[in-house]
A and B are shown apart, each in its own frame.
Chain A
Amino acid sequence: MKTYKVMIVEDQAIARRLFEMIVDNSDDFELLYSVESASVAHMYCDRNCPDIILMDVIMQDRSNGLEAAARIKKSHPQVKIVITTSMPEVSFIDKAKSAGVDSFWYKEADSEEILTVMRHTMEGKSVYPDSTPVVTLGNITSTDLTAAELDVLRELTKGASNVEIGDKLFISPTTVRTHISNMLAKTGFANRTELAIKARLEGLVIPESE
């Protein structure tokens, strides 16, 4: 039986050990590398390329799994990559697809086991969840916010002004103000700072590192 070489990229030791055990206990996968930072993932691929990578998104050293995945896919397009995350950040799925990531798995919310996802991925299937996990934000859930509002909210968590948000998203400051007002009305939060902090705490939006 063919065994596929797996590289695990996960900054938390416990989660990393869990994945290692899952791989070790399987018959069709073998562990090649287990690294704790996305920043060095490409180095391992350049040296000895795995067949499939389990890649976390947000690392403690601020490296980004999605960026690392895009870089690896560029130089090693044959490698299968499965993004694993517990963050309900809505843009991760789109970014993963843009980066060419093969599959996406939510650590806490996904009912499908990771091994099943890995097997489907090696068969050439692309396994993505239908939607992001729903989180509560004030009086609403995350599904009540529009894509444009979420984009504005993401920039808001960086402390950007309306002008800066407008410049980043190519919309006018008036439109930014309207989106923020709508979000405050929907969530019931008192001000934009509270909105930004609560959204960030729930992991609904995660600002991109500069």
Chain B
Amino acid sequence: MNIFFGTWILVLTLAAFYIMSDAIQRRRTFYLFLMFVNVAVLYLIVECVMESEMPLSGTWIFLFAALTVIETGLIVYLHLWRKRHISLASIKDGLDGLTDGLCYYYEDGRLVFVKPAMNDIAREVTGRFATDGRLLWDCLANSRAFGSACYYDWGSGQVLGMPGGNIYRIVRNRCSFLKSPAYEIIAYDITEEYNLGLKLRERNERLAGQKKRLLEINDTISDLTIEKEILQTKVNIHDDLGKALVGVRSYISDNIGKKELLGLMNTAISMIDAQKINDRPDDYATVLKAAADIGVNVEITGDLPEGEDDKQLIAAAMRECITNTFRHAKGDTLYIRSYVNDNSEKAVQFTNNGEAPRGTITETGGLSYLRHLAERRGAGMHITSSPQFVLLLTLPDVKRNEYENI
């Protein structure tokens, strides 16, 4: 009976430990050892009971069960505790494996922990290994170096370049150690990132140069294309001249009439005349001619800007104001005054005769486009509606170079 009972408990114990060890996964050997210890204890209890010829009481069973539960609880707790905590040795091993520099020190400069990489930095920056955290940070923050280390501009701050070629970004944070205020200095190794950044910067500069050349080529090609068109048209004129000459021959031979011959000659002569016209109109000249054609006088006081960008802007403003003069104001004269204002800026003011605006002018269509042009040029644009329409453009001093910021 006792043997049967003991065997039953043994089987139960084995099953319980198997389940627990399976759930816990590792350290099965340890748990197996524990299991056999418990079995041995159980066996001894059973033997004692048998030898003393006393019946196995519930107290023994309860005690053994309690022992099993306590042991299991302790094992699980220990296992979970180990998962949530790591040893100081593990921390140090882990930190030593990082390439970054690390240093902890109290407020008075006493060091708590310094990584070898930080010691190398300290030697280059202070001339000796780290002994005082405050001194080390003072040198780093003020870009001081003892050895051949140097500082480079990077982003919004500076980075430290070591003689071996490593580049570090230094950061300091407040923390606490054993409930005392402390600081941590971290030197992030950004060597790869920095070198890639340099390559990227070189590449961008090269691309910016290529882009500039490509845009210049675009302009050249535009001119070439126009020349090509002109040339083709001249070839056509040459053909027309040929036809005219043939026509003369035919006229002499009485094959065509005078009227036809005159038509051919007229065509040829007109084409020859057209070649004499300057094919490159000036921005101002084009607008002034258009104004004259549509019956709007333009009175200019002062010298209008001659820079290409400024000319485009002023010519655009002239077009809008001329349109405004006859379309809205029902006037016939546009007044343009060019001067230097109190801020030494070149200013160009446009007003007109005729009716004043009925309300505040809203910038739509042409005026909206004009503002876009002005902003792109870096110029100021101001419109007044009362007592009369006034458009004022103020031009920047320095021409914006679109390639400078690449």
B322 to chain A minimum Cβ distance, whole angstroms, is 6
- Please tell me if the beta carbons of B274 and A43 are within 8 angstroms of each other in the complex: no
- Please tell me if the beta carbons of A43 and B290 are within 8 angstroms of each other in the complex: yes
Chain B, Cβ-Cβ closest to A48: B294
Which of A44, A46, A58, A193 is within 8 Å of B222, CB to CB? A58
- Please tell me if the beta carbons of A14 and B271 are within 8 angstroms of each other in the complex: yes
Chain B, Cβ-Cβ closest to A25: B263
Is there a chain A Cβ closer than 8 Å to B242's Cβ?
no
- Complex Cα distance A18/B277, Å? 13
- Please tell me if the beta carbons of B210 and A43 are within 8 angstroms of each other in the complex: no
Binds A, one of B111-119, B211-219, B355-363: B211-219
A17 CB contacts on chain B under 8 angstroms: 270-271, 273-274
Is there a chain A Cβ closer than 8 Å to B252's Cβ?
no
- Please tell me if the beta carbons of B226 and A60 are within 8 angstroms of each other in the complex: yes
Is there a chain B Cβ closer than 8 Å to A11's Cβ?
yes
* A15-B229 contact in complex given A39-B319, A43-B322, A200-B218, C-beta closer than 8 Å: yes
The B66-88 residues at the A interface (CB cut-off 8 A) are: none
B315 CB contacts on chain A under 8 angstroms: 39
* A14-B215 contact in complex given A21-B267, A21-B270, A44-B294, C-beta closer than 8 Å: no
Which of A15, A60, A158 is within 8 Å of B280, CB to CB? A60
- Please tell me if the beta carbons of B271 and A18 are within 8 angstroms of each other in the complex: yes
Is there a chain B Cβ closer than 8 Å to A61's Cβ?
yes
Is there a chain B Cβ closer than 8 Å to A207's Cβ?
yes
The B284-307 residues at the A interface (CB cut-off 8 A) are: 286-287, 290-291, 293-295
A27 CB contacts on chain B under 8 angstroms: none
A15 CB contacts on chain B under 8 angstroms: 229, 233
- Please tell me if the beta carbons of A47 and B230 are within 8 angstroms of each other in the complex: no
Chain A CB within 10 Å, residue with most, of B213, B233, B234: B233
Is there a chain B Cβ closer than 8 Å to A42's Cβ?
yes
- Please tell me if the beta carbons of A16 and B281 are within 8 angstroms of each other in the complex: no
Which of A12, A159, A200, A203 is within 8 Å of B233, CB to CB? A12
B376 CB contacts on chain A under 8 angstroms: 210
Is there a chain B Cβ closer than 8 Å to A91's Cβ?
no
The A55-79 residues at the B interface (CB cut-off 8 A) are: 58, 60-62, 71
Number of interface residues of A (CB under 8 A): 44
Is there a chain A Cβ closer than 8 Å to B225's Cβ?
yes
Chain A, Cβ-Cβ closest to B226: A60
Is there a chain A Cβ closer than 8 Å to B283's Cβ?
yes
The B contact surface, by secondary structure, is: helix
A90 to chain B minimum Cβ distance, whole angstroms, is 16
A28 to chain B minimum Cβ distance, whole angstroms, is 18
- Please tell me if the beta carbons of A39 and B286 are within 8 angstroms of each other in the complex: yes
- Complex Cα distance A87/B212, Å? 24
Chain B CB within 10 Å, residue with most, of A35, A37, A87: A37
* A47-B326 contact in complex given A40-B319, A86-B229, C-beta closer than 8 Å: yes
- Complex Cα distance A15/B316, Å? 25
Instruction: Name the interface size band of chain B.
Output: 35 or more
The B163-216 residues at the A interface (CB cut-off 8 A) are: 207, 210-215
* A37-B286 contact in complex given A15-B233, A46-B323, A200-B221, C-beta closer than 8 Å: yes
Is there a chain A Cβ closer than 8 Å to B7's Cβ?
no
Which of B214, B224, B273, B365 is within 8 Å of A196, CB to CB? B214
A50 to chain B minimum Cβ distance, whole angstroms, is 13
- Please tell me if the beta carbons of A200 and B294 are within 8 angstroms of each other in the complex: no
- Complex Cα distance A107/B303, Å? 40
B207 CB contacts on chain A under 8 angstroms: 161
A128 CB contacts on chain B under 8 angstroms: none
- Complex Cα distance A12/B217, Å? 22
A89 to chain B minimum Cβ distance, whole angstroms, is 10
- Please tell me if the beta carbons of A43 and B294 are within 8 angstroms of each other in the complex: yes
B280 CB contacts on chain A under 8 angstroms: 60
B294 CB contacts on chain A under 8 angstroms: 43-44, 46-48
- Please tell me if the beta carbons of B323 and A86 are within 8 angstroms of each other in the complex: no
Is there a chain A Cβ closer than 8 Å to B382's Cβ?
no
Is there a chain B Cβ closer than 8 Å to A189's Cβ?
no
A18 CB contacts on chain B under 8 angstroms: 233, 236, 271, 274
- Please tell me if the beta carbons of B218 and A157 are within 8 angstroms of each other in the complex: yes
- Please tell me if the beta carbons of B233 and A11 are within 8 angstroms of each other in the complex: no
Chain A, Cβ-Cβ closest to B288: A40
- Complex Cα distance A123/B252, Å? 42
- Please tell me if the beta carbons of B295 and A47 are within 8 angstroms of each other in the complex: yes
A158 CB contacts on chain B under 8 angstroms: 211, 214-215, 218
* A14-B230 contact in complex given A36-B281, A37-B281, A159-B215, C-beta closer than 8 Å: yes
Chain A, Cβ-Cβ closest to B267: A21
A-side residues, CB < 8 A to B, are 11-18, 21, 25, 33, 35-37, 39-40, 42-44, 46-48, 58, 60-62, 71, 86-87, 107-108, 157-161, 193, 196-197, 200-201, 203, 207, 210
What are 14 inter-chain pairs, A to B, with CB distance below 8 A?
A: A12-B226, A13-B274, A14-B233, A17-B274, A39-B315, A40-B290, A40-B319, A46-B326, A48-B294, A61-B286, A86-B229, A107-B229, A158-B218, A207-B218
For the complex with contacts A15-B233, A18-B233, A87-B225, 11 further pairs of A-B residues with Cβ separation under 8 Å are: A17-B273, A39-B286, A43-B291, A46-B327, A47-B293, A47-B295, A47-B326, A60-B281, A157-B218, A200-B218, A210-B376
